[in-house]
Amino acid sequence: MVGHKKKSLTIRYIIAFLLLLLMIFPYLYMVLNSFADWSQVDRKLIPTSFTLHSYEWLLSGGQSAEPRPWIRAFFNSLIVSSGSTILMMITGVVVAYALAKLQFRGRNFLNNAILFQMFFPAIILLVPTFLIIQRLGMYDSYLGMILPKALSLWAIFMYTNFFRAIPDTFIEAAKLDGASDWQIIFRIILPMSKSITIVVFLFLFMERWTELLWDMIVVKSDNMLTLNVLLSQMFGPYGGYPGPMYAASVILTVPIIILFLFFAKQFKEGMQFTLK
Amino acid sequence: MRTKNNNGMGWLFASPYLLYGLIFFLIPLGWSFYLSITDWNLIAPVFHHVGLDNFIKALKSPGVHAAFFVTFKFMIVFVPMVIASSLIVALVVHGLPRFKGLFLIGFFLPYLASGVVSSFIVKGFLSYNSPVNTFLRGQLGLDINWLGTPLSALLLVAVIIAWKFTGYYALILTSGFESINQEIYEAAAIDGVNGWQRFWRITLPLLYPALFTTLILSIGVTFGIFTEVYQLTGGGPNFGTNTWQMEIYKQAFQNLSAGYASAVALIASVVTFISIFIIRKFLEMWGKRNGWT
């Protein structure tokens, strides 16, 4: 009986490992091809001869007349994604604190409004939001990419649910000691919300990092493009240069994977709460 | 705390939402309605009110018809695909005594991929001289133009998106599995309940809340497909992958028909809203009838 159980467990581990390999295979394929000799890119399942040619080609600006600013695009992405994410987290925490821990007239209305808006098909807002950004003079600017994504209903929703689970007694005690609402948020609420904060941060950041549609329509100049948009435009419709295409894909993907793996443990803990 | 009047503080802390809701929800919403009855082209200073012409034109347009049906085709293909794959992952992983977290993290990694990148990988992997196609041509005599037929293009996009979401949904389903009390299985085993019955009578009912979540999430995904389609097919071939977002993007930002695009977006929103509402109700009824909720 025990031996049988052990054996079936081994089989399960093998299946799990093979499944994982299958799921990770596209990433492996991407990385290997980014280092593959150009004669082997997309020609072999597993390349055998390697070179840094693709990365050199990319960073030297490729063969186009105008050098493509990959490094600039990388920092554009970093600025836009960090700016957006930080704002979404601040607004998320502040609004959620009001909804979960402050008593005020109209609170239920706001709760319902947020829920309604969360399930509202946002596609209808695309064209007019573009026009608003244009009228505000933010077309082709960082602000134009950041501001429309400065608040996340999902973040408010997650934080509200989490804050509700924090006992009011903590807050009442702090108030008796004369703490202001800001102090309560930063000294009491946030330190208790580390794991959820990491989950929210990771989801928001990676969603912003991989955004295509909005960053594509709101930017015109080459030097304002985010990495994802530059990648899409550079290797989009006409193909060509598959090696550098994989190299650029690696440059876009690896930072976000490192960030995720760095926080993986806390992410796992935080997800426990969000999935309940 | 309840004795103190917090009205001012409450509204102050909620003000980011109020401001944002006004500028990026209410105003665009109203504007969108207004645009939809004009023929504005996004650039010209003059435009005309055209009444319901945009809507009539949209309802007759092959692009809009395609968007309507393509969304449901994606749903039929993508939802079962991603539910099956995430169920398999969850089933394999949830009972592992060790390294379970490590596996779950690993399966989650595809979620981090940009749609642009995953599209590139698939495009390269299935390019004419790729090992896969060379093998198919050489060994089986199959010459498949993967992005050239509507069905295979649709399948490919569905697979890419399913790849992305499998690990995420598996996480949800795993926590669903874990909330099932093992003693129920032991009691059932004593009563002689076997594998298939066990799944239908015990596992599925108790898993239903997690399954419901993944179903609703994945159905929601099908209404917002853009990046992969934009990158791989541009909505083609022959409108075969023309999603709502693709159609609206094309009309607004390639044809510069802001008025017409707003009308299409309005139709898309109504269709999305009603579809999700009906599907949700249906799923709830299904759960209730079986006594699962």
State pLDDT tens for residues A179-229.
888 899 998 899 999 889 999 999 999 999 999 999 999 999 888 999 999
Which residues in chain A are closer than 8 Å to B17, comparing Cβ atoms?
91, 95, 110, 114, 151, 156
**In what helix (H) or strand (E) does residue A140 lie, and over which residues does it extend?**
none
B144 occurs within a structural domain: yes
Residue B233 backbone dihedrals phi, psi, to 5 degrees: -125, -15
- Structure tokens given for A32: 């290997």
Residue A166 backbone dihedrals phi, psi, to 5 degrees: -85, 125
Cα→Cα distances B154→B13, B231, B240, Å: 45, 13, 7
- Structure tokens given for A63: 């063969």
pLDDT score, position A237: 64
Which position has the token pair 């083609």? B236
**Is residue B89 within 8 Å of B170, Cβ to Cβ?**
yes
pLDDT score, position B3: 45
Closest CA to B224 of B172, B174, B164, B150: B164
Closest CA to A241 of A28, A68, A45: A68
Q: How many structural domains is chain B composed of?
A: 1
Burial class (CB in 10 A: 0-12, 13-18, 19+), B60: exposed
Inter-chain CB proximity B125 and A156 less than 8 Å: no
Closest CA to A231 of A34, A23, A19, A14: A34
Q: How far is CA A51 from the centre of its chain?
A: 31
B11 occurs within a structural domain: no
Name which of A21-35, A66-80, A90-104, B84-98 the model is least confident about. Answer: A66-80
B46 occurs within a structural domain: no
Domain that holds residue B107: 52-181+191-286
Inter-chain CB proximity B249 and A217 less than 8 Å: yes
What is the ipTM score, two decimals? 0.89
- 53-82 of A, contacting B, C-beta below 8 A: none
**Is residue B38 within 8 Å of B259, Cβ to Cβ?**
yes
Which residues in chain B are closer than 8 Å to A103, comparing Cβ atoms?
1-2, 6, 10
B39 occurs within a structural domain: no
**Is residue B175 within 8 Å of A276, Cβ to Cβ?**
yes
Calculate ∠ Cα B232-B83-B270, nearest 5°.
65
**Is residue A249 within 8 Å of B121, Cβ to Cβ?**
yes
Half-sphere exposure of B172 (CA within 13 A, CB side): 20
Burial B188-215 (b: 16+ CB within 10 A, else e): eeeeebeeeeeeeebbebbbbebbbbbb
SS3 A44: coil
| pLDDT tens digit sequence for A2-46 | 556 677 888 889 999 999 999 999 999 999 999 998 888 888 888
Residue A50 backbone dihedrals phi, psi, to 5 degrees: -120, 155
DSSP assigned state of A223 = G
B37 occurs within a structural domain: no
Q: Which of A20, A253, A264 sits opposite B113 (nearest CB)?
A: A253
Inter-chain CB proximity B231 and A236 less than 8 Å: yes
B221 occurs within a structural domain: yes
CA distance B26 to chain A (A): 9
B291 occurs within a structural domain: no
Which domains are seen in chain A, by residue range? Answer: 2-51 (no CATH), 70-274 (1.10.3720.10)
Calculate ∠ Cα B168-B173-B175, nearest 5°.
100
- Structure tokens given for B47: 């435009």
Q: Which of A104, A126, A276 sits opposite B248 (nearest CB)?
A: A126
Closest CA to B279 of B206, B205, B220, B203: B220
**Is residue A218 within 8 Å of A130, Cβ to Cβ?**
yes
In chain A the first and final C-alpha atoms are separated, in Å, by: 35
**Is residue B35 within 8 Å of A127, Cβ to Cβ?**
yes
CA–CA dist B119, A201 (Å, integer): 25
Confidence of residue A63 (pLDDT cuts 50, 70, 90): low
CA–CA dist A6, A13 (Å, integer): 11
CA–CA dist B121, B117 (Å, integer): 6
CA–CA dist A107, A15 (Å, integer): 50
Inter-chain CB proximity B1 and A172 less than 8 Å: yes
**Is residue A156 within 8 Å of A99, Cβ to Cβ?**
yes
**Is residue A74 within 8 Å of A227, Cβ to Cβ?**
yes
CA distance B143 to chain A (A): 16
Burial class (CB in 10 A: 0-12, 13-18, 19+), B27: middle
CA–CA dist B32, B44 (Å, integer): 17
Which residues in chain A are closer than 8 Å to B167, comparing Cβ atoms?
23
CATH number at residue B211: 1.10.3720.10
When pLDDT is averaged across residues A257-268 and rounded to a whole number, the result is 91
Task: Please give the share of chain A, as a percent, with pLDDT higher than 90.
Answer: 57
pLDDT score, position B83: 96
CA–CA dist B229, B213 (Å, integer): 25
**Is residue A139 within 8 Å of A133, Cβ to Cβ?**
yes
B105 occurs within a structural domain: yes
- Structure tokens given for B17: 């939402």
**Residue B175 touches partner A, C-beta closer than 8 Å:** yes
pLDDT score, position A241: 84
Per-residue pLDDT of chain B (293 residues; tens, 9 = 90+): 444 556 888 899 999 999 999 999 999 999 999 999 998 888 888 888 888 989 999 999 999 999 999 999 999 999 999 999 999 999 888 878 888 888 889 999 999 999 999 999 999 999 888 888 888 888 888 888 888 899 999 999 999 999 999 999 999 999 888 888 778 888 888 888 777 888 777 888 888 889 999 999 999 999 999 999 999 998 879 899 999 999 999 999 999 999 999 999 999 999 999 999 999 999 998 888 877 76
CB under 8 Å to A73, separation ≥6 — which residues? A225, A226, A227, A229, A230
The amino acid at A124 = I
Cis before B16 (ω within 30): no
